[in-house]
Chain A
């Protein structure tokens, strides 16, 4: 475990002959005289899922915006698919952007268009497909995220979780090589969080997409990531596989990972929970199974049993998809 950032990618994901999908070197970005990003070095390899974690305001979203070319760095370089982002002309930049998809925190669906029209827009603008083929593609993408029935609804008529899934359907409409997720599970209930996590894992496996997930949701990050980096005060504190992050001795990382538990204990001491309200309620049914699986995945990852962790993760994804299916049919 070290502070060196360009760690080795997961063996099963990488094709060594391929250049990295994202290379960031010495990235500095500041606002109002304060450096939000202060010397970020990061490499993301083809096919891997990288989680970028950190507390709110640590610069995660700014980093994501720098990667898509929305913020010009004050210093440093960003290379996407081997091309230096800020040396490209607008047409070349657009060509690079067509190879990536992004899921925004709010979904960022175009409010004047239906869900189906949102998904169809990139296809209409960037391909020569016939309207019938576009219609078919839209249905396929919506089916993939379990939103087939929401095609004709406006963004204002769907829930936050559905908006995120619709945003994801739009992000994958052009079959991107790189998918970026900005806080994909924030503000969602645990079941919807599980569904979104399942989709991230599924898309990564089935489409062999390189994924970068910016999140402060630890559970979610440990579920989806092949590799993780932790950012604090605009700098990468540590990087590594999930089980390496769990056992990282860095004080900030320890605090970041264990913080929620300490806070929970402080606010709701067990004695206080037991006396006025009785013992904590036991989880039942699918939720209990999911919790047991998550625990087993965490343990397997901690012990370095990657194959076992992957098998359990698939099982968990299957369970979540089944729950999702039940919800839709219900």
Chain B
């Protein structure tokens, strides 16, 4: 019986911790939105270059590989069904609908989320955040808002690149390993892409960008305890944002494929 109570207590504490985290992040989002009217574009551009442009190569490479993996994984079944040319269809749908935004979100939670959390946590333990506040300068406006807008915008750009590179990965496998004629592959690919999936993917990308930035900034702003605190904030930012992104992706999948389209 004691074990049961301890188990329930642990679940309760876990729930309370997450509820508190979400509550604090909600307040952070609210404060950030309130600071939009005093937005300056220059810092946003700087952050877009820092977290977006520098992530292009890694996002492109990872999505290309993921597209290729989907093609290779499906090939055996499609060959047995004598429908190998359908590889293009499966890759195109999987990439544009789910994989491009999801994989880009996970990669960016490592690239941008970790960098943002470490930077802000370091500023926090070095009293730089306090110095901003003491100087009547809002850390939300100076640090959170430019990063939020930059990561959301760059997530959308990177997801478009991921769409293209994911399909290109499938193309490489389809044409060079499965001997599908190139023009045939491209034709099936183009016919298979459902164009509403692209803006839906971009919407997801923007939401994932918001999750990454809010989680990272929240962890950074509440960091304490020197170098250990910075490390903890960085780890938690990446882990939490990955968990939330994957959960949010499920919610989007239900919303787009079930609720909107009907069961």
- Show the binding face of A for B, using Cβ within 8 Å: 65, 68-70, 93-95, 97-98, 100-102, 104-106, 108-111, 121-122, 125-126, 167, 170
The DSSP consensus for interface residues of chain A is mixed
Complex CA distance for A94 and B134, rounded to whole angstroms? 8
Contacts of A104 in B (CB 8 A): 127, 130-131
Contact across chains for A111 and B123 when beta carbons are under 8 A apart: yes
> Which one of A93, A101, A108, A125 contacts B137 once the chains associate, using CB atoms below 8 Å?
A125
Closest Cβ–Cβ distance, residue B122 to chain A (whole Å): 8
Q: Which B residues touch A109, using CB under 8 A?
A: 128
A100 and B134 contact, CB distance less than 8 A: yes
Most buried by A among B128, B132, B136, B137: B136
Q: Is B133 an interface residue (CB 8 A)?
A: yes
Rounded to whole angstroms, the CA-CA distance of A10 and B186 in the bound complex is 86
Across the interface, which residues of B come within 8 angstroms of A111, CB to CB? 122-123, 126, 128
Instruction: Give me the interface of B with A, judged by CB distance under 8 Å.
Output: 122-123, 126-128, 130-137
Overall SS of chain B's interface: helix
Q: How far is the CA of A97 from the CA of B135 in the complex (A)?
A: 6
Q: In the complex the two chains form, is A106's CB within 8 Å of B127's CB?
A: yes
Q: Roughly how many angstroms separate A98 CA and B137 CA in the complex, as a whole number?
A: 9
**Cα A234 to Cα B114 with chains together (Å):** 38
Q: Distance in Å from the Cβ of A37 to the closest Cβ of chain B?
A: 17
Q: How far is the CA of A109 from the CA of B127 in the complex (A)?
A: 9
Closest to A67 in B: B134
Q: Are B128 and A122 in contact (CB under 8 A)?
A: no
Complex contacts, B132 vs chain A, CB 8 Å: 110
Closest 9 A/B residue pairs (Cβ) = A94-B136, A108-B131, A97-B136, A108-B127, A104-B127, A68-B134, A102-B134, A98-B136, A108-B128
The smallest C-beta distance from A179 to any residue of chain B, in angstroms, reads 12
Q: Is the CB of B134 within 8 A of A70?
A: yes
Query: A70-B130, A102-B131, A111-B128 in contact; A121/B123 too (CB < 8 A)?
Result: no
What's the least CB distance linking A5 to chain B, in Å? Answer: 24
| Residues A108 and B130 in contact, CB atoms below 8 Å apart | yes
CB closest residue in chain B, given A70: B130
Report A-chain residues with C-beta under 8 Å of the C-beta of B122. 111
Chain A residues whose C-beta falls within 8 Å of the C-beta of B136 in the assembled complex: 93-95, 97-98, 125-126
